[in-house]
Structure 1
Amino acid sequence: MKASDTVRITHAGYLLQVPDRGVHALTEYVTDDEKLFIVTHMALIEIDPSAWCLRVDGMVRRPCEITLEQILSLPQYEVTSVHECAGSPLTPLEAKRRVGNVVWAGPRLSDVLHACGIEQEASYVWSEGLEWGEFAGIQNQPFVKDLPIEKALAPEVLLAVAMNGRPLRAERGGPVRLVVPGWYGTNSVKWLGRITLAGTRAPGPYTTRFYNDLTPTGSRPVWQIAPECVVVSPANNDSVTSDRQICIEGWAWADAGVIRVEISVDGRQSWAEAELDERRDFGWQHFRFHWTPAAGEHQLSCRCFDAHGAGQPDASARNEIHSVVVSAS
């Protein structure tokens, strides 16, 4: 399904939209549509919902094409999940902090795959978007990502048709997008058009050339969201009143869930534990720390640790420690 009366490009090329105040705009548990980032590699497209269909093929016993009407007739589920961009694949060590927390709704991917009959040899699920264009010198290569079969069959993975209680807009990947809670947004393929079950990882540029991190033990796909947190309030360069208690607060998240958040008010020389809310579904967790500033300039930082004990790097990583500077007088 390419350029036609049913699929058209509404913006050609790379696009990024973020709130003017960045993370300091993210004051609510559920992020409103207008405060959630938009990023696309090749284009934004709009699809005629009446013409859309999802092709399921590869290592399945019953390949099929599923219409939107059929998708909507399946049992629908809601999952609250942090939604975070992994950052530019051209500069993977830069922290971008494009993030929000939303409520997705739609049928489970597992219900569709089981209905098609999964072959025993299938170990990966490839997902392909319907956009096309150019990115980083690559022309018209389909945006294909992959998931291990175990994650694809997890109950939280949805064929999303709605976000925050409203039908999924074209800019959000509608009419149907894949949603993979706990994993970076690059894996939640927009404008979903094809699902293929295979015995190997997908061979395209978005799984081979891009979105792989180098580690001491080799290359690792950019899949699970690493521990990360941000100070939402006070904002960077805010002025506060000295000798009067304020509340430092923000959000923390990780695929495995966050078990501890620490705050530094002295330029990372010392750390103290913050109060932390429990996680709901795969959503982010609110933290707060009460502090009485002395007069002067202060660097405030936050860091978190997930259920496996992993923490955040000081610098040079997409999830590096977040800091703000405030002045007290």
Structure 2
Amino acid sequence: MLEDVQARDAAAEPHHDTIPERSTAPRASRRLLLGGSLAALGASLGGLPRLSIISPAAAQGAPAAAPAAAPPKGPQPFDFPGKDKGLVLLGDRPLVAETPESLLNDDTTPISKFFIRNNGQIPEPVANAETWQLKIEGEVEKPLTLTLAELKSRFAAQTFRMVLECGGNGRSFYQPAGRGNQWTNGGAGCAEWTGVRLADVLKAAGLKASAKFTGHFGADPHLSGDTTRDAISRGMPIEKALEPHSLIVWAMNGEPLPHIHGGPLRLLVPGWPASLSSKWLNRILVRATPHDGQGMGGTSYRIPTVPLIPGSNADGKTNFTDMTSMPVRSIITAPANGTRLPATTREVPLRGAAWAGDHDVAKVEVSFDAGQRWQAMTLAKPKNRYDWVRWTGAVTLPSEGYFEFWVRATDSRGVAQPHVATNWNPQGYGSNPFHRTAILVG
């Protein structure tokens, strides 16, 4: 149970360049192909044995790591108000939970199924959301202090369906493991966000010619409770801040922004790591130089410009750059991993989603024979830029038996998902190999 996550956060921790993440679920336990999902298939299929257990290393074609000293505990129970119990707890200090791919089958991700990613303690809710204040200061002509009510009354509201994705999504697929919570593909969701354009608010403050970057601040306390330190404070080039889809939001799927998702006010910076989309937003600092807050510099949300030897040491001082556009990714949302179908089944309908950061999705392909042949899927038209692309199709199988479906997407630049996670980095950012699911026919 997670009724009192904050009560555990009193002990101070030493300062690190990286965002602190503590995982309570061993990484191997979430990567069991045809594993835990089998039990839920129902009595009508007569129950299903565990067919195969594939470690993360083996699933990605790499040598398996040495056995852990203790047996894995498996996915941890998740019980949080308003959340689907199918979410998987990755860490409780800070609170982090991912969404299994099969729960991402909705065109618009319900709030109940949306992943959770915190960096610090969860702040106390406010009694009156309309009085929440946001300050705009720094390299502006007219610093502003605006309440939520004033944001709503002074600026035109916008609603877009857009993907929000953790920068570490896919981290568990790296070999050796990167530091941090071991996400599979579940650190992403696509909700409808309502708010005002960040550009409109910044322009109302009067950007100076020296305004080149932003720095973002939220009300979430540092894990240690140290009031002099931010849980996380990241920033971006002013060009991204002025994009028409970068929003200051107060609603999610038509409802007031839930507290656990940063309510009453947060940033939504689509296409880039979700760490930029500050929760419980209360201050934006416009800067002449790149932001230097917690989560900036070193190896934090940064990737190598020169490939590293996997497992090597790196401090991020040279040959690293800030992570910007998230890589192309696709997932199979139906059938779920571990599905059993009647022996007479030959045609299997498939459904999923794909997205590509700042870029468009050009095509999605599926293989059932380990990549020997690929079949194009049908792409639905997204509602707006940064919406994910829902894809559908059907695969004809040659017989009954065990099959794995592989999916890969290609973006508008012609860049496709790799077979294995590439460009290893100490924090495990940017991992986007093929998603694989397995079924049994018969």
With normalisation by structure 2, the TM-score equals 0.68
Q: Which has the higher strand share?
A: 1
Q: Which residue of 1 aligns with 2:151?
A: 71
Q: Which residue of 1 aligns with 2:346?
A: 244
Q: Which residue of 2 aligns with 1:97?
A: 186
Q: Give the distance between the partners of 2:275 and 2:415, measured in 1 at CA.
A: 22
Q: Give the distance between the partners of 1:259 and 1:248, measured in 2 at CA.
A: 18
Q: Which residue of 2 aligns with 1:82?
A: 163
- Counterpart AA for 1:299: E
1:262 aligns with 2:365: yes
Question: Which SS does the other structure have where 2:200 is aligned?
Answer: helix
Instruction: Structure 2 unaligned segments of length 5 or more: list them.
Output: 1-5, 10-92, 172-177, 308-318, 422-429
Q: Give the distance between the partners of 1:31 and 1:94, measured in 2 at CA.
A: 18
Indicate if the aligned counterparts of 2:101 and 2:185 stay in contact, CA closer than 8 A: no
Q: What pairs with 1:19-30 in structure 2 (closer than 5 Å)?
A: 19=99, 22-30=100-108
Of 406, 415, 432, which aligns to 1:319?
Answer: 432
Q: What pairs with 1:287-302 in structure 2 (closer than 5 Å)?
A: 287-293=391-397, 294-302=399-407
- Counterpart AA for 1:320: P
Of 309, 323, 326, which aligns to 1:222?
Answer: 323
Instruction: Structure 1 unaligned segments of length 5 or more: list them.
Output: 1-8
Q: What pairs with 1:1-329 in structure 2 (closer than 5 Å)?
A: 12=9, 13-19=93-99, 22-48=100-126, 49=129, 51-73=131-153, 74-87=155-168, 90-91=179-180, 95-134=184-223, 140-209=229-298, 210-216=300-306, 218-241=319-342, 242-255=344-357, 256-281=359-384, 282-293=386-397, 294-316=399-421, 318-329=431-442
Indicate if the aligned counterparts of 2:215 and 2:293 stay in contact, CA closer than 8 A: no
Question: Which SS does the other structure have where 1:144 is aligned?
Answer: coil
Q: Give the distance between the partners of 2:181 and 2:102, measured in 1 at CA.
A: 23
Check 1:307–1:93 CA distance in 2 against 1; reply closer, same or farther (3 A cut).
farther
Q: Give the distance between the partners of 2:435 and 2:94, measured in 1 at CA.
A: 26
Superposed CA offset, 1:32-83 (max 9, x none): 1101011101121234225521111110011121111111212111011012
Q: Give the distance between the partners of 1:142 and 1:42, measured in 2 at CA.
A: 5
Question: Which SS does the other structure have where 1:161 is aligned?
Answer: strand
Check 1:110–1:11 CA distance in 2 against 1; reply closer, same or farther (3 A cut).
farther
Question: Which SS does the other structure have where 2:235 is aligned?
Answer: strand
| Identical amino acids, percent of aligned pairs | 28
- Counterpart AA for 2:158: Y
Q: Give the distance between the partners of 1:152 and 1:107, measured in 2 at CA.
A: 12
Superposed CA offset, 1:154-198 (max 9, x none): 111111010000111111101110001222221111000110111
Q: Give the distance between the partners of 1:232 and 1:69, measured in 2 at CA.
A: 39
Q: Give the distance between the partners of 2:247 and 2:334, measured in 1 at CA.
A: 32
With normalisation by structure 1, the TM-score equals 0.90
1:91 deviates by 4.3
Superposed CA offset, 1:267-298 (max 9, x none): 22222211111222111111122112221111
